[in-house]
Amino acid sequence: MAQLYHWTAVYEDGERLTEQEAKSFYDIDRSRLSRFELQGPTSVEVCMHTGRIYIGGHLFLVDKVKPYYNQDVDYELIQYKRARAYVGGKGHSILSYNVGWKFTKDDLHAQVIVTLQPGGDSFVELKETDLKTQKSNKCKFYTKVGEGNG
């Protein structure tokens, strides 16, 4: 089964590294990374200097997320795929494509992950943890993105 989404790393000088060119996601030079793009039936763009996330070309704005944009923090890129492997080496299917960021500043750990599920609900998940009290808050925002939407 062909992959629906492919990533591209865009560096500060405009150079691009695509998933097809890289040997691994870990080949990305994070010290030079400006944007990370996930392209497919819809697109997700993560701006590493501001924390802004664009879904289908639209800025994802939720009051709970806005305070994190443009913070003086180091946003760490998150990207992974969830897959199902079939018994007997009969291949696999990708259940979801996930991209976002996380950071820790002062006593706060925060992360935002966009989850695109082919043929299913797509959503954005925000998780905040107060490191002093270890209390966490988690919110899911369902979106109208996915196959054919954007």
Give the pLDDT confidence of 102-132 residue by residue, as tens digits: 998 888 899 999 999 988 788 999 999 989 9
Q: Considering the domain boundaries, does residue 150 fall inside one? A: no
- Tell me if residue 85 falls in helix, strand or coil: strand
Domain that holds residue 55: 6-143
Dihedral over alpha carbons 49, 127, 146, 121 (to 10 degrees): 180
117 within 8 A of 94, measured Cβ to Cβ: no
Q: Considering the domain boundaries, does residue 26 fall inside one? A: yes
Q: Considering the domain boundaries, does residue 94 fall inside one? A: yes
Q: What are the tens digits of pLDDT across the range 41-87?
A: 889 999 998 888 999 898 887 666 677 777 788 899 999 999 988 88
Q: Considering the domain boundaries, does residue 1 fall inside one? A: no
pTM score of the predicted model: 0.84
Q: Considering the domain boundaries, does residue 149 fall inside one? A: no
Q: Considering the domain boundaries, does residue 68 fall inside one? A: yes
Q: How many domains does the chain have?
A: 1
Q: Considering the domain boundaries, does residue 43 fall inside one? A: yes
